[in-house]
Amino acid sequence: HSTLPSPQRPSQPPTPSVFQYTVWNFLPKNLFEQFRRIANFYFLIIFLVQVIVDTPTSPVTSGLPLFFVITVTAIKQGYEDWLRHKADKEVNKYPVIVLENGRRAHKESEKIKVGDVVEVVEDETFPCDLILLQSSREDDTCFVTTASLDGESNHKTHYTVPDTEKDLESLSATIECEQPQPDLYKFVGRMHIYKPDQEAIVRPLGPENLLLKGATLKNTKKIYGVAVYTGMETKMALNYQGKSQKRSAVEKSINGFLLVYLCILVSKALVCTTLKYWWQSKEGQDEPWYNQKTQKERDTYRFLKMFTDFLSFMVLFNFIIPVSMYVTVEMQKFLGSFFITWDKDFFDPEIQEGALVNTSDLNEELGQVEYVFTDKTGTLTQNNMEFIECCIDGFQYKNRQDVGSELDGFCVTDGPVSKLQQKAGREKEELFLRALCLCHTVQVKEASTDDLTELDQVDQVDGLERPLTQPQEERGFIASSPDEVALVKGAMQFGFTFLGLESRTMKIKNRQNDIESYELLHVLNFDPVRRRMSVIVRTRTGETLLFCKGADSSIFPRVRPEEVDRIRTHVERNATEGYRTLCVAYKKLSADEFAVAESRLQEARLALQEREAKLTAVYNQVETGMSLIGATAVEDRLQEEAAETMEALQGAGMKVWVLTGDKMETAKSTCYACRLFQRGTELLELTVRTLEEGGRRREERLHELLLDYHKRAVQDAPPAKPGVTRSWATANQEYGFIIDGATLSLVLNPSPDANSSRYKSLFLQICQNCCAVLCCRMAPLQKAQIVRMVKNSKGSPITLSIGDGANDVSMILEAHVGIGIKGKEGRQAVRNSDYAIPKLKHLKKLLLAHGHLYYVRIAHLVQYFFYKNLCFILPQFLYQFFCGYSQQPLYDAAYLTMYNICFTSMPILAYSLLEQHICIEVLMDNATLYREVAKNAMLRWGPFVYWTILGVFQGLLFFFGVRYLFSNPALQDNGQVFGNWSYGTIVFTVLVFTVTLKLALDTRHWTWINHFVIWGSLAFYVFFSFFWGGIIWPFLRQQRLYFVFANMLSSVSAWLVIILLILLSLLPDILLLVFRKPKSHAQQKKPRSPAAGGPQSPQASARPLLMRTFSDESNTVI
């Protein structure tokens, strides 16, 4: 009977709550969220005023649009939340098998308690954090992929706890472990195993025994594990970082404009109220003989009456605030995001996926990016390693494909050909190749014949690689990093093949095709601080050897200095060529040394406190006094079109920063390959190496260097001319900046006596004047720190982060726009990003085409909304001067309600989804066009004032034009006179036609949808007016528009005025279009038109001539 009591902790409820709502709190919570928006809250107040105070318009006029807005938004948010609930149910309710009293019982995953023994089969994910007790594999291991946790898609090996019973029913044990903590790679615990008539055995538990929730079992039929952390205590739940609500700059502009219009509204109401009481103070105006006041009216308090009058005017003019704009913007963002998902250019045949949009609120930010922060491995490069060459004892060995040639005074052999004299001794060679075959954590996946086809697919997905040699055709390698597979394959090309690990015995086949076996005693794991890993093995002859491989900076200090010089030149040259380099060393351990090391390791592994630190100390003691054998160079290829993409981004005026954990030399050569640094770029280095030159204190030297670089890059640099692209600016010296993690922490968190804010501002100014910045050796948190620093700098530039692994998540969440790449390092980055794309090259189109267009569309939408509402309400304001300030509405209630919902909303929505003011090919070819909309250019105060003046001009024209018509009272054949409702209807008709045709003039890209909604909206208005006025409606107390519209159209004068006023209103726009010079990129588009004209030419020729002539304009109105 298995008794595994919990570590005295209750079980925790399942998964983190990522939902905003439940069934019960949806209404109150959603309404609260929505009324936090200024416009919604304002309309609610107006609605309440209309209900309470006797106002000129019915509460329906503002209640209905508000209800429409609130409902549409609530449905969208409810639907998104329902999707989250659905995903959560799949996680928490799926069935798992638990051993209870020796029997297998089915449970829902949310019911697992600490101490339950759970069975998991191949390709299932673990339902909670488990300690591995038993595996179906003979060597008591199991393979796991943790792609959904840390983004690594390769297989990791986990081990069962030694000395547990094969029969779990008879196992009796207790587990002690640390409190739950979020670090995925740390776990400390121990297990006491009780056997009858024996002392309890204590075994250490480490991360290699812990299977994390969210990871997936691979290559192992099934395992049994005991639950140690469940629910909110699992490492996956503790790592869940809530997404902050990112708001786009456009929303902030809207709020600024809203305040301006609120001020206009209040001042209009104040003017009218003041004038009303001034007018009434004259003799006989307040109480004419035909309209005596009642006693109740006479007794009301004067100031209360003034206040209610003020509120009435507010209600009358409140349509100047566009409440439906929010809904149109929401719809535009929600529907617009589908265009990114549907874009065929983003489809990647290799992974059979396209782009993904996680946040639709940021579409227009894509057109405003000023800084791009990119990861290197897997983003700029493919994370696909290939063994290039190695150097043994100072002699260079290239891959077999290369022909022998002299280089650097060293011999380059094509494989170990013994005829050439200049090469390392045979023993050294074999020792080096044995080290490559033994010092790793690669597993061999044997493929049975029926698995062969499956293996082909696995190769691409899981990063399994298959060797090229014939005899081992049916074998794939599984490793925790692509470097390791590359090295094992490299050794194969020189005749040493790794055959696999079986029950702690590693087997390799040497050049003579003999099989050598080694007993694996210990693996000293790789960690990012030590930056090396070692294995201790025992040969058949009983010798104990330690093999170690790692970065040059961590190996060189631990070997004899005289050996270093021979190999350093190779390592440095390889690094400048852009290869990833590793050094290999070994050491023979005497029996005593090994005994001491083993006892220390055992002791450190059992420690519950500070186990990591103790283990590191032991590792460091063992890995000293080694002999250097050689070094390897592995190439990580660039992503396709990486250089073109980076060049386009820089041409568009964006600053590109590369943030990587890699070595400086490797990263530097990648930057050259991506053309971020050009041949003539002068590099300013701020690294540990430059700080240690001159032998002074680091802080002093840092200060001195910062001042020097600041002088060169900032003070002495000629002022940049706006709009000059990089290629033309080559006359000036260009600077590139390089900094490493250690120096960055000095800059960001200097010692107390240093002048910290000064360092930071100097550093920022230098970086902002450089064409590209490279930050190497960065910890994930430092990446986020840099993004935060730039984001909060002067002018708050819009930042974008792009990465593919879990180490990029922090910077993706920090930037304004986060982009994940669906790469080899799993999906963590994609899950936390706002947008995900399959390849780096897709970033170019996402920003230069989609981003640019989204921004132009939404900017036009916002300006247009304010303009059409100003045109709408201004005549109403002017009308008050002619009706004794009596709050008489100019338009009928139906028109007031329907204007923003039906008559003018669809054309602008279609425009904001489909408009392409410049065609996509031109946008892609000319990156400089991106600069034209940079820094929120279309939503600045200049364009806003232009639209406002246009609105005022048209409003005045509508009102006084119709008033001029009415100076002749008899407008019909029979001499009948038109009334005030006819007046309002004529103004309203001119208004609806003018604002709709203004949008038609602004449209550069006509589709059948645009035609349908623009002409359809106008037809609907005419139809509605006939219908509304042509029937006696039983629910209306008074029917003001009964036959007004039909009657109005029977007058020829009304027709004339309507047509004339529409033409006069649009005249400024037409003149502006005719006399304005086309932009320069129009010429570049013209020659392309015949070629591009295939399917589009009929459509183009059918366009009105005016629109075709000016369709090359970059923006219609600025």
Q: Do residues 372 and 653 make contact, with C-beta atoms less than 8 angstroms apart? A: no
Q: What whole-number distance in Å separates Cα of residue 571 and Cα of residue 576?
A: 9
Cα angle 819-821-823, degrees, rounded to a multiple of 5: 165
Q: What whole-number distance in Å separates Cα of residue 1092 and Cα of residue 876?
A: 49
Q: Which two tokens stand for residue 562?
A: 């005289």
User: 752 vs 707, 755, 761, 789, CA distance in Å?
Assistant: 20, 8, 17, 20
Residues contacting 87, CB < 8 A, separation 6+:
none
Residues contacting 618, CB < 8 A, separation 6+:
597, 600, 601, 604
Sign of the C-alpha dihedral computed for residues 172, 174, 180 and 186 taken in this order = negative
Q: What whole-number distance in Å separates Cα of residue 394 and Cα of residue 425?
A: 11
Q: Do residues 119 and 95 make contact, with C-beta atoms less than 8 angstroms apart? A: no
Q: What whole-number distance in Å separates Cα of residue 219 and Cα of residue 155?
A: 9
Q: Which two tokens stand for residue 152?
A: 């690594």
Q: Cα 906 to chain center, whole Å?
A: 30
Q: What whole-number distance in Å separates Cα of residue 1030 and Cα of residue 1024?
A: 10
Residues contacting 829, CB < 8 A, separation 6+:
151, 803, 804, 805, 806, 808, 809, 812, 820, 821, 823, 836
Q: Do residues 120 and 223 make contact, with C-beta atoms less than 8 angstroms apart? A: yes
Choose among 555, 303, 564, 584: nearest CA to 438.
584
Bridge partner list, 374: 658, 802
In the chain, what are the helix, strand and coil shares in percent, each to the nearest 5?
50, 20, 30
Q: How many residues are listed for the chain in this entry?
A: 1118
User: 265 vs 258, 334, 560, 876, CA distance in Å?
Assistant: 10, 31, 82, 12
Q: Do residues 607 and 614 make contact, with C-beta atoms less than 8 angstroms apart? A: yes
3-state secondary structure of 155: strand
- DSSP E strand stretches across 198-330: 201-205, 210-211, 216-218, 222-229
3-state secondary structure of 417: coil
Question: What are φ and ψ of residue 151, in 5° steps?
Answer: 85, 0
Active-site residue, from 116, 140, 150, 375: 375
3-state secondary structure of 378: coil
How far does the chain reach from its first CA to its final CA, in angstroms? Answer: 79
User: 98 vs 1, 107, 113, 177, 904, CA distance in Å?
Assistant: 14, 7, 10, 22, 62
Q: Is 375 a catalytic residue?
A: yes
Q: What whole-number distance in Å separates Cα of residue 1085 and Cα of residue 1091?
A: 11
Give catalytic residue positions.
Answer: 375
